[in-house]
Amino acid sequence: MTGGKLQVLATRGNGETGSDITHNAPYIRGLPMTIPYHGKVVVRGEAVMSYADFKRVNARFPEEEQYRNPRNLANATVKLYDSNLLKNRPVAFVAFRLVAMEGLPGSFHKQLSVLNTLGFNVVEHTTCPASVLADTLETYTRMAESYPYPVDGLVVAANDAAYADEQPGTGKFPNKLSGYALKWADETEETVLRDIEWSASRTGLLNPIAVFDPVELEGTTVSRATLHNVSYVLEKDLKAGDRITVYKANKIIPAVDENLDADGAFSKGGVSLMQAYARYLLPMKCPVCGANTSLFESNGTLFLKCLNEDCAAKKIGALVHYAERDCVNIAGLSESKVTALVNRGFLKGFVDLYRLGQYRDEIIAMDGFGEKSYAQLQKAVQASRAPSFVPFIHALGIPNIGKGQAKLLRNWLGEMYPDTAYMDSFLDAAAHGVDFTVIDGFGSVMDKSLKEWLCQNMQMLTELLMELEVTEKPSGNVLSAISGKTFVVTGKVTHFANRDEIRAKIETFGGRTAGSVSKNTDFLINNDVESTSGKNRKAKELGIPIISEEEFLSMY
Ligand SMILES: [Zn+2]
């Protein structure tokens, strides 16, 4: 940085030349674009992604293109050419070294404090006398386990940076005083691999999971670890009965380290793919639906997939969506729980969610469930039996019919059949082949898509409605947010053709409109909420809420 502005952001690359990634700098968190210092400053740091973001972002990739860990994904992200992609891939810069600056402070601790003052996100650090170094390392080791980012070690450096930098050091004999990296030795345990389970995922891939005799690792009992894909199993030559060592990657994720009984037969070419099926217990049939499986290769890696287009595993995504908060809202029904239930054959569609009671004992015995978690799930399922119309339609995952379209349907049904529950009038309208394109904003693609879906799923929907009560009726309540309220509309509108159209809408819902803001105004609609126009200032003075068009749309 010079002149108080970021000039160049580069990756470390091979240590000699890195790539210029300055274009991505504005999207990397914790990296200031301007600093309150105008001389030249060189800072070194690392791009990191939290476990939570990693999980979310990685899930968007096709399974065979997913990243192994947050570090790989963060590194790939900062090197992207299209900066726009970074908006949905949160990466943070963590500064760990002030490399150059005029009048560089002589103490390491001060250097980091300077970085902090300049606005950088700085790595966790502390200063301590050498006598308590061991205890401090211990404390930081414990902290690492609760860190949202993967951390693989600690660095110890002499606080007298000026003195430390004068010490000799080469690649082979590094200067340990200027920064000595300590990696944690992973706690590894030996155990016996008992089985490889193949868990179907939402795309129909079958993912291997090692099941081994339970061992204590980093304070918890572990008996399972992901094996990623078929190639991984083959390369490690993993067979039931083998002695293996296991550890927790970054102290968190159980992983297989070594197979002590590997003879490398496969990598030496001594095993054909057909023999591999028997040797490594690759399932010929999908554990979920029983259809045939097939091996396929992607970027040099072997995967196993189910060949059945209608495999229940492919409904995992739909089931997860169904349970989401703005859908039917089954709290705590995560993707991993859905996946586990689908894999056991307990869950094939929405209706089965309400019939899990018949598998009570088996579910309680499942990994990741137990008595308490089963009880919570049942409670959440019971609480979801009376959804409102819009979240329910949204939950069904009908192509082209989202929350917005469901709202349009509801409002129209409310006007057409004011005394009937929305769901009943909806089914009635559908049965009579009503052309929903009469609804403003409801296009022919949506109409067609909705009808096709109903045609194919009527049986399922009927069964589902026996488990649920979607009894919400049109009532004044639905409109109360607008009816009787006075609105002032100002500024440009985007969802409506012009301001008159939005005013007409307000009046259909029983609201009033006025030309200027007064103490009788309930809402000022202005997309530029921060505008300093007269109307905005007046509204702020009077404490009248200023809402955007979007917020207005959500009122009905
Ligand atoms: Zn299948």
Q: Which ranges in the chain are annotated with CATH 3.40.50.10190?
A: 478-553
- Name the fold adopted by 189-306: OB fold (Dihydrolipoamide Acetyltransferase, E2P) (2.40.50)
In the predicted structure, residue 63 carries a pLDDT above the cut 90: no
Q: What is the mean pLDDT of residues 54-59?
A: 88
pLDDT at 82 over 70: yes
Q: Which CATH class is domain 22-183?
A: alpha beta
Report CA-CA distances (Å) from 4 to 1, 8, 31, 32, 36.
6, 12, 13, 10, 6
**Domain boundaries for CATH 1.10.150 within the chain:** 389-474
pLDDT digits (tens, 9 = 90+) for 329-356: 998 898 889 989 998 889 989 999 999 9
The protein residues having their C-beta less than 5 angstroms from ligand 1 (an ion) are 286, 288-289, 291, 306, 308, 311
Residue 14 has pLDDT above 60, yes or no: no
Task: Please tell me the least confidently modeled range out of 12-16, 60-64, 247-251.
Answer: 12-16
Tell how far the Cα of 506 is from the centroid of ligand 1, in angstroms: 51
pLDDT greater than 90 at residue 395: yes
How far apart are the CA of 287 and the centre of ligand 1, in A? 7
**What's the 340 CA to ligand 1 centre distance in angstroms?**
14
Residues of the chain with CATH 3.30.470.30: 22-183
- At 95, the amino acid letter reads A
Residues 83-135: tens digit of each pLDDT = 888 888 999 999 998 888 888 888 888 989 999 999 999 998 888 888 888 88
What is the distance in A from the centroid of ligand 1 to the CA of 396? Answer: 22
Q: Cα of 369 to ligand 1 centre, how many Å?
A: 23
Which residues sit opposite 45 in a β-bridge? 95
Q: How does pLDDT run across 35-52, given as a tens digit for each residue? A: 888 889 999 999 999 888
Do residues 313 and 200 touch, judged by C-beta distance below 8 A? yes
| Domain 478-553: CATH class, spelled out | alpha beta
Q: What is the DSSP string of 137-175?
A: HHHHHHHHTT-SS---EEEE--SBHHHHHHS---SSS--
The CA 285 to ligand 1 mean position distance, Å, reads 8
C-alpha count within 13 angstroms, C-beta hemisphere, residue 545: 10
pLDDT at 87: 85
Supply the CATH classification number for the domain 389-474.
1.10.150
Average pLDDT estimate for 222-238: 91
pLDDT at 270 (0 to 100): 67
pLDDT in tens, 174-192: 777 777 777 776 788 999 9
Please tell me the predicted confidence (pLDDT) of residue 459.
Answer: 93
Distance between CA atoms of residues 417 and 429, nearest Å? 10
Mean pLDDT of the chain: 87
Please give the distance, rounded to the nearest whole angstrom, from the Cα atom of residue 279 to the centre of ligand 1.
22
| Ligand 1 centre distance from Cα of residue 271 (Å) | 26
Q: Over 70: is that where the pLDDT of 477 sits?
A: no
